[in-house]
Structure 1
Amino acid sequence: MTEPATATQHSGTIPARPGHRDVTDAAAGRRGGDMEHETTGTAFGASVIPGAGPAAPSRERDTLRLRDTGEEEPARYAPEWLQLREPADAAARSYGLLDPLRIRLANLPGRAADGLVIHDIGCGTGSMGRWLAPHLDGAQHWVLHDRDPYLLHFAAVASPRSAADGSHVTVETRRGDVARLTPDALSGASLVTASALLDVLTREEAGALAAACAGAGCPALLTLSVAGRVELTAPHPMDEEITEAFNAHQRRDGLLGPDAVTVAAEAFAEHGATVRLNPSPWRLGPEQAELTGQWLRGWVGAAVEERPELGARADGYLADRLEACAAGELRVVVHHSDLLALCRPVNGAA
């Protein structure tokens, strides 16, 4: 049982520091995102929030940890970045996938007695739960997975307290490794969710996720995977170059990047799941200028990290785009895709 959230906590404000909370901290997690690292190059400024842009390569691949070593690592996703993008994420997610999801969940055996058990993989600050829980009826227990203990703390503190029909919502947290997710780890799960995760998986990891969900017989709602397409107003001659370089950066070290949804859809289909894909674009205008500025720095920074020869021209390009953003003249559409996989139930349910 979790303690009630205060009004400030429930609004999504980042707490000053982790504190005591009666939640379970067990095992498994990772937070995905459109851009993973902190920008360090002077061309793009030190003001980029960690999570919005690239950083110098580390010895460990900056996606899923293959095992929990017990060693502390610096956080690669600042809560400020996750909070900044949360309204855009909420506005972008596909509502069109909710009805088929509700139909499947309504037919789960034992639901009336026990409610839903939802595993949120790479939960970050818990934005997926804050968006989805109020759209589903019935009691819900969310199992929040991430490797960052501070993000887990924030996700638990700021978790929703009631479902669409007023039923109670509870949470627990699990810290560690999601790359070894198995059907056993998802035993009893009603649903698996993730946001901005698929694009930072490898083909093998996406296959393992699909196999785990299929083995547990639970549906998966995986939102906000980058699609590799960006539209900026007004068009600029460098738009295509930056986009191509950024997409190449996203595919580094075998990561799926903009191929993620296609690969994941194929993996789920191979396990007999019915898969639906819907677009979920960010639509950024003057009201989202702060997010747009951070996204621009990270987007261009990743492109230059991939293709350093773009550096000098990219400096001017970024300056022009940031000037237009500050003037309220820039509008950006960052394309994403949402995936709903309705895996075959393992117990004969509808």
Structure 2
Amino acid sequence: MTTGQVRASSEWLRLREPADAAARAPELVEEVRSYLPTDGGAAIHDLGCGTGSMARWLAVQLTGPQHWVMYDRDAELLTLAAADPPGEASDRTPVTIETRRRDITRLKPGELAGAALITASALLDMMTAEELGRLVATCAGSGCPVLIALSVTGRVELTPTDPFDQSVSDAFNAHQRRTTGAGRLLGPDAVGAAVDGFTRLGIDVLVRPSPWRLASGQAALAAEWFTGWLAAACEQRPELGAEAVPYARRRLAEAAAGRLSVTVHHQDLLARPS
């Protein structure tokens, strides 16, 4: 998805899709099912859809006809989402989609009218407090459940450990909270801010862990994630640069050899209307 000046490439989204699917909290899907209509189609609005991975993951786990309305401000990603729609629902009923190019932080309440479910994935941590506040208010006004997956928590574990890990992690988290043209990003504080926002509006929120666990079978993703993680840390704190070069060499060699495992902690949340 894209928000403000933050953009995720289609290649990165493609690479991470299997890890995202494995990480999302399945127990929240059980909760979602209880809210969806049983006597007709469900309109599901996916905010910051990227290439459509959330729809491909969730649609097949739900029953009954579904119509997904997929929002992103990146036209290339919307084209890719339309070209690879989700398959049938679990009971073999049809799933249809439409795409809308929008800034999802400025949606009007009427755009979500009739939604049975609102979803998003890997979204909140790239927003400012102002953007998140508008989004929470708009979603709350829809009166339907809101399932938001894979927001980072700021915790990363690499095995084997390295003395430089913590310095990079601290710098990366500072980068996640950096100030952009839109304001200061929430980064690891986003889930807490979203929970507070929904709770203030009288909406109950469930939060569940959804960690990425990248082992030898995900060496390419681990290497790509590590490279971006380290680059962001060095952008935030250039003084890390000298030590970062040998550190990257060590870590990428471990990843290539299948010896590096990474856990990137995320949280999923479900806002449940009363």
| TM-score between both structures, scaled by the size of structure 2 | 0.95
State the AA in 1 paired with 2:140.
A
Q: Is the 8 A contact 2:60 2:89 kept in 1?
A: yes
Q: Which residue of structure 2 lines up, in the alignment, with residue 31 of structure 1?
A: 2
State the AA in 2 paired with 1:119.
H
Q: For 2:215 and 2:196, how far apart are their aligned partners in 1? A: 34
Q: Which residue of structure 1 lines up, in the alignment, with residue 208 of structure 2?
A: 278
- Deviation at 1:148? 1.6
Unaligned runs of 5+ in 1: 1-29, 33-60, 64-75, 345-350
Q: For 2:44 and 2:175, how far apart are their aligned partners in 1? A: 32
Q: Which residue of structure 2 lines up, in the alignment, with residue 295 of structure 1?
A: 225
Q: Which residue of structure 1 lines up, in the alignment, with residue 5 of structure 2?
A: 62
Q: Which residue of structure 2 lines up, in the alignment, with residue 226 of structure 1?
A: 152
- Deviation at 1:182? 2.8
Q: For 1:77 and 1:151, how far apart are their aligned partners in 2? A: 9
Match 1:261 to one of 182, 191, 205: 191
Q: For 1:321 and 1:161, how far apart are their aligned partners in 2? A: 38
Q: For 2:258 and 2:34, how far apart are their aligned partners in 1? A: 42
| TM-score between both structures, scaled by the size of structure 1 | 0.75
State the AA in 2 paired with 1:62.
Q
Bigger Rg, which one? 1
Q: Which residue of structure 1 lines up, in the alignment, with residue 170 of structure 2?
A: 244
Match 2:13 to one of 67, 82, 87: 82
| Identity across matched positions, percent | 55
- Deviation at 1:78? 2.2
- Deviation at 1:325? 0.6
- Deviation at 1:118? 0.6
What stretches of structure 1 move > 6 A for 4+ residues in a row?
none
Q: For 1:200 and 1:148, how far apart are their aligned partners in 2? A: 15
Q: Which of the pair is proportionally richer in helix?
A: 2
Show the 5 A alignment for 1:3-14: none
Show the 5 A alignment for 1:114-263: 115-253=41-179, 254-263=184-193
Match 1:319 to one of 219, 226, 249: 249
3-state SS of 1:185 partner: helix
Show the 5 A alignment for 1:9-20: none
Q: Which residue of structure 2 lines up, in the alignment, with residue 112 of structure 1?
A: 39
Higher mean C-alpha displacement, 206-215 vs 296-305: 206-215
Q: For 2:9 and 2:132, how far apart are their aligned partners in 1? A: 25
Q: Give deviations 1:81-116, integer Å, cap 9, x for gaps.
A: 11000000000000011111111224xxxx523x11
Q: Is the 8 A contact 1:187 1:216 kept in 2?
A: yes
Q: Which residue of structure 2 lines up, in the alignment, with residue 19 of structure 1?
A: none
Q: For 1:190 and 1:321, how far apart are their aligned partners in 2? A: 45
Unaligned runs of 5+ in 2: none
Q: Give deviations 1:102-145, integer Å, cap 9, x for gaps.
A: 11224xxxx523x1101111111100000000011111000010
